[in-house]
Chain A
């Protein structure tokens, strides 16, 4: 992609990579290397590393030097369909047809990287990206002698000042400052060096320059830029070694390699050329016409017209979105995608291809839950397991084992799909080649075998907002067509099973597998780096189950044994040996016998106590609910993790989860509309509360109408009334909520879910059973709608609760038509909120990530950016890693308790 504006990459600056074991000499040729080293056979060994990239502008000389051919004709192919010599598809610039051979390096398609060509422009042309720069440079320098319009004796002082400006506010500010300096020295119209009078130069966008109303040609401009000495260029903050201003006026144009602009062959056999090729064709065509006309001595007008046309084509070749120019279009009318558009924005080269890459060895399908899997397992469908492979190197100890896979072939599980020879050539295993491959197999070969139980895989769900969105799981091959995961790990992925799809990646090298296991496996990610508590815990039914179990359940010992065995416990010695055991005793079996803990539960027990006491592995008092078992809450899980380690915690979590479900399974769990039934006196109480509220509101409205209402300080009468009404109605709804909470059957499953924190809350229950309540928008009652009223069924100026969005019915009792309307108003509002928020927060996140991605902790424990600037002397002022902390802190209390 190197045209004049493009940077020159200098990959010559290559550093030897850290020397690895057998590799001792830098080898130029990869082929050679493979033969020499027998340990790294077949694996790509990185022996070179790009150390730095320097950017500069291509000079005309360099353009010619790096070109392999000169393009002289706009024709692409001859009659036979072969690329024309000296055309844009010249085979010296690389090949894109399978049969052809590049004439520069003799390589074929895919091996040939492509080479630049060039065209000689008949007349110089301004490079659009430098039009503004050219203007500012020429305006600041003498039209006769080329020196900058600053007297020699003030030159050094000016330079010093400019250097300072640049260090403070950048390059653009520096150029502006030059202009100001010259203006302040009053040398704008007269050169201090040669005393020549200075004309006034203006730029008519995009690329036409005028000097005192007279048009000035790029030839003249170029001549002036050539005169500027190197020292003066440095004053502009430019580096003369990398950029001479005259290079900004093009005399030769590099033609990018064919490989960069491949044509596609349509079904009809017709060729469709790339946008760049089209544009270059235009340029070459006009350029040739210009040459011919100049040589033929055509009138000046014709030449100038062609020149302008050439300028237009070259401008749009670089950037097809120049504001003043009509974009160049396809015949279909759709604008061409030229160089700038190729690089820019989300779908451009940088963000689309360079900063984000595609992978092989990955799978994606719908996910579904399976609580019988361990938390760090992932269920992989057999069909996927037979497509994804793991490379295993053959040695003398495993050859028989690996031969087994080859013997099975690609169609039987567990089989293999490929073998890789030591020279890196891949061979597909089919039923026909199976025997031959088996014969061939010897140490040094690689067998790409099917995925098996225990292999490591990286599991991911988008949007990948935090590092727990990509975790490493162990493969469990199973029947079915979906990827399976334990529902407890839904939370870090933010997954549910309403059709979510997730991705699976199989690491292919030992290094990748080791890093995945050590750094990314689920148990290593238990503690969130965001707040220092467990991100994985029991959810939904698992919480309900544990709640029921530990509240006041009793069961025969045999049932308990059955449950425990089902969830994976085999040591029952900790279960008391008596006829009936309590739920707390069953729960305690899972706890380590030297674990003690004091905490609080969400729910209250019969004595309205929330205390949770675990002493020496026995749950003595308290209920296990969301506050202790749920994700992101409570220190129970965190303390267990602290004391017994990640693997134990993971195992425990899995068992707790299954325990909850298993208990529910035996206990039975269902919700029905009867859960929202209220006893008659409760319903009467609700009605009474709402009536009272309505009367109170009536009272306020009367006071308001008679101007007797006391206004709140700083509020108008209307606002005060609104606030009063809102307050009254909210109180009324809360009261109904309290009534429902009081009368609701504590043994109904809906109430259990709300109490334990498994799903829903008392408000939801109250809304179903009694009263939905006031629908508020932006902190106020609903006011919008028709003139003077919200809906046409109300009188104008009606201030009563019902007319402004108060829903007095419950969902079960059914809503009035207007109430339903108001409900949908707030519903729509919250949808809008979500829809507007997502892209905003996404952009904020992108900016944050981009700004902070290079911050890391150095060996001296400072936090620095990639430029070495110290951001913090000690991370977070105390150097504590949040994911190793207990809720962001060192828990002194626990240490003291343990010691005493």
Chain B
């Protein structure tokens, strides 16, 4: 390993140092090393951005322009029914909108040793998958006369999902408003309060249907697969908090595609990285070439405030300092009106405002100002 002097370590980005360490021949002479390092520093300095560069717009262009080339289709995930992933433009829009409810939440659950070698993989997958009452019921009836709900259990489904009678009675006893009785395959759920209207009874039935029996809430499908000699579980539905708490999960590698969940569980920095990864994944899968810096900048604007803000009129744009910039985007009347009520001042510090007033914009060549003391007078 070649040692690089400290002054260079500070003068060059980490990536370059890593590359150097990898590429430099071991027996390099001191003099040549010096020469290479100096050349690297010189090149690096010449590659830096100029002050005043409109990097935001360049990034917007770099993502917006290939947007026209992306496909609209969702992509079907080989293996499991009803498991498809939103990709392409819709996924990009979804991420950049900062939507709370994404259309196809998914997780890649990595497992701790020895499970990552494939031990008990099916069993674990089954334990993670959420089972609701409706999944093990063959029939659900409303008995209006007794204001009760009658459920016939499907024993084979129960067995497949690893559900016992005890599971069911326990899950239902947790609910306050009902009393459940199980005899054979017939499960009778009665409301404790009398005189339920049919409407209420129906609502009760809908509630009983989705009573959580086992597994992790929100995980509707599981699929064990092998990825790079490691067994992982891909899920449809996401619940990062609960999954990370499971003992057989490797919490360091497990990921979800729901960035809001990442933000809640792991914080904004993790959410930023997750968002970058998600956007990059889509762009890469479309075979497009966009530098990671552009994605980083977009995601940084979304997350700079400490929470995820979408690129929408309610998100990032509403935070703008300039009234006219906000007005030029959407709902101009609302912005001008509210500005007038509080006597807002627009300091004309960015681009559109100055375009509106036919003035030079404070970016690029419009940024430098000449300061000369006026003489005499």
Set of chain B residues within 8 Å of A171, measured between Cβ atoms? 338, 341-342
Does B192 sit at the interface, judged by CB under 8 A? Answer: no
Question: Quick check: B47 and A57 within 8 Å, CB to CB?
Answer: no
Set of chain B residues within 8 Å of A354, measured between Cβ atoms? 328, 355-356
> In the complex the two chains form, what is the Cα distance from A850 to B316 in whole Å?
10
Q: Spot the interface stretch: B69-77, B130-138, B139-147.
A: B69-77
Name the residue of chain A whose CB is nearest to the CB of B80: A714
Does A213 sit at the interface, judged by CB under 8 A? Answer: no
Mark out the residues of chain B between 349 and 375 whose CB falls within 8 Å of any chain A CB in the assembled complex.
Answer: 349-353, 355-359, 363-365, 367, 369-372, 374-375
Q: Count chain A residues whose beta carbon lies closer than 8 angstroms to a beta carbon of B.
A: 111
Set of chain A residues within 8 Å of B353, measured between Cβ atoms? 53
Set of chain A residues within 8 Å of B15, measured between Cβ atoms? 878, 889-890
Question: Quick check: A857 and B51 within 8 Å, CB to CB?
Answer: yes
Known interface pairs A50-B357, A899-B35, A900-B32; A881-B372 also in contact (CB < 8 Å): no
Question: Quick check: A851 and B301 within 8 Å, CB to CB?
Answer: yes
Question: Quick check: B52 and A833 within 8 Å, CB to CB?
Answer: no
Question: Quick check: A530 and B61 within 8 Å, CB to CB?
Answer: yes
Does B40 sit at the interface, judged by CB under 8 A? Answer: yes
Question: Quick check: B350 and A866 within 8 Å, CB to CB?
Answer: yes
Mark out the residues of chain A between 860 and 875 whose CB falls within 8 Å of any chain B CB in the assembled complex.
Answer: 861, 863, 865-872, 875
- Map CB proximity to B onto A637-680 as digits: 1 under 8 Å, 0 otherwise: 00000000000000000000000000000000000000000000
Does B67 sit at the interface, judged by CB under 8 A? Answer: yes
Instruction: Write the nearest CB–CB distance from A689 to chain B, whole angstroms.
Output: 24
Does B10 sit at the interface, judged by CB under 8 A? Answer: no
> In the complex the two chains form, what is the Cα distance from A597 to B371 in whole Å?
48
Question: Quick check: A24 and B44 within 8 Å, CB to CB?
Answer: no
Does B64 sit at the interface, judged by CB under 8 A? Answer: yes
- Map CB proximity to A onto B315-354 as digits: 1 under 8 Å, 0 otherwise: 1111011111101110011001111111111111111110
- Map CB proximity to B onto A884-900 as digits: 1 under 8 Å, 0 otherwise: 11001110110110111
Q: Given known contacts A852-B298, A857-B50, A890-B13, what 13 new A-B pairs fall within 8 Å (CB)?
A: A5-B336, A54-B345, A133-B341, A355-B356, A465-B64, A850-B329, A854-B320, A855-B297, A861-B49, A877-B293, A879-B49, A895-B39, A895-B40
Name the residue of chain A whose CB is nearest to the CB of B343: A242
Residue among A876, A890, A898 making CB contact with B296, cutoff 8 Å = A876
Q: Spot the interface stretch: B105-113, B158-166, B169-177, B284-292.
A: B284-292
Known interface pairs A170-B318, A515-B365, A854-B349; A863-B297 also in contact (CB < 8 Å): yes
Known interface pairs A848-B298, A876-B297; A24-B325 also in contact (CB < 8 Å): no
Does B30 sit at the interface, judged by CB under 8 A? Answer: no
Name the residue of chain B whose CB is nearest to the CB of A723: B78
Mark out the residues of chain A between 32 and 56 whose CB falls within 8 Å of any chain B CB in the assembled complex.
Answer: 46, 49-56
- Map CB proximity to B onto A1-25 as digits: 1 under 8 Å, 0 otherwise: 0000111100000000011100011
> In the complex the two chains form, what is the Cα distance from A357 to B359 in whole Å?
13
Question: Quick check: B342 and A237 within 8 Å, CB to CB?
Answer: yes
Question: Quick check: B344 and A55 within 8 Å, CB to CB?
Answer: yes
Set of chain B residues within 8 Å of A271, measured between Cβ atoms? none
Instruction: Write the nearest CB–CB distance from A633 to chain B, whole angstroms.
Output: 9
Question: Quick check: B340 and A242 within 8 Å, CB to CB?
Answer: yes
Report which residue of A6, A515, A842, A847 has the largest number of chain B beta carbons within 10 angstroms of its beta carbon.
A847
Question: Quick check: A848 and B96 within 8 Å, CB to CB?
Answer: yes
Question: Quick check: B365 and A531 within 8 Å, CB to CB?
Answer: no
- Map CB proximity to B onto A444-466 as digits: 1 under 8 Å, 0 otherwise: 00000000000000000000011
Question: Quick check: B55 and A863 within 8 Å, CB to CB?
Answer: yes
> In the complex the two chains form, what is the Cα distance from A881 to B349 in whole Å?
24
Closest 5 CB pairs of A and B: A855-B56, A845-B64, A242-B343, A876-B293, A854-B350
Does A79 sit at the interface, judged by CB under 8 A? Answer: no
Does A710 sit at the interface, judged by CB under 8 A? Answer: no
Set of chain A residues within 8 Å of B50, measured between Cβ atoms? 857, 881
Does B189 sit at the interface, judged by CB under 8 A? Answer: no
Question: Quick check: A55 and B51 within 8 Å, CB to CB?
Answer: no
Set of chain A residues within 8 Å of B370, measured between Cβ atoms? 18-20
Does A529 sit at the interface, judged by CB under 8 A? Answer: yes
Set of chain A residues within 8 Å of B320, measured between Cβ atoms? 854, 865-867
Report which residue of B13, B343, B374 has the largest number of chain A beta carbons within 10 angstroms of its beta carbon.
B343
Does A743 sit at the interface, judged by CB under 8 A? Answer: no
Mark out the residues of chain B between 58 and 117 whose CB falls within 8 Å of any chain A CB in the assembled complex.
Answer: 58-68, 70-76, 78-81, 83, 89, 92-93, 96
Does A329 sit at the interface, judged by CB under 8 A? Answer: no
Set of chain A residues within 8 Å of B39, measured between Cβ atoms? 895, 898-899
Set of chain A residues within 8 Å of B343, measured between Cβ atoms? 54-56, 239, 241-243
Instruction: Write the nearest CB–CB distance from B347 to chain A, whole angstroms.
Output: 5
26 example contacts (A-B, Cβ-Cβ < 8 A) are as follows A5-B340, A7-B340, A19-B372, A55-B339, A170-B318, A171-B342, A242-B341, A242-B343, A344-B332, A348-B332, A531-B290, A715-B80, A778-B73, A844-B93, A845-B60, A847-B96, A847-B311, A849-B60, A853-B54, A853-B60, A866-B349, A880-B293, A881-B50, A895-B43, A898-B39, A899-B35
Set of chain A residues within 8 Å of B311, measured between Cβ atoms? 844, 847-848, 851
Set of chain A residues within 8 Å of B78, measured between Cβ atoms? 723
Does A532 sit at the interface, judged by CB under 8 A? Answer: yes
Question: Quick check: A841 and B70 within 8 Å, CB to CB?
Answer: yes
Question: Quick check: B57 and A857 within 8 Å, CB to CB?
Answer: no
Does A331 sit at the interface, judged by CB under 8 A? Answer: no
> In the complex the two chains form, what is the Cα distance from A866 to B324 in whole Å?
12
Set of chain B residues within 8 Å of A852, measured between Cβ atoms? 56-57, 59-60, 297-298, 301
Does B245 sit at the interface, judged by CB under 8 A? Answer: no
Name the residue of chain A whose CB is nearest to the CB of B349: A866
Question: Quick check: A841 and B89 within 8 Å, CB to CB?
Answer: yes
Set of chain A residues within 8 Å of B40, measured between Cβ atoms? 890, 892, 895
Name the residue of chain A whose CB is nearest to the CB of B293: A876
Instruction: Write the nearest CB–CB distance from A683 to chain B, whole angstroms.
Output: 33
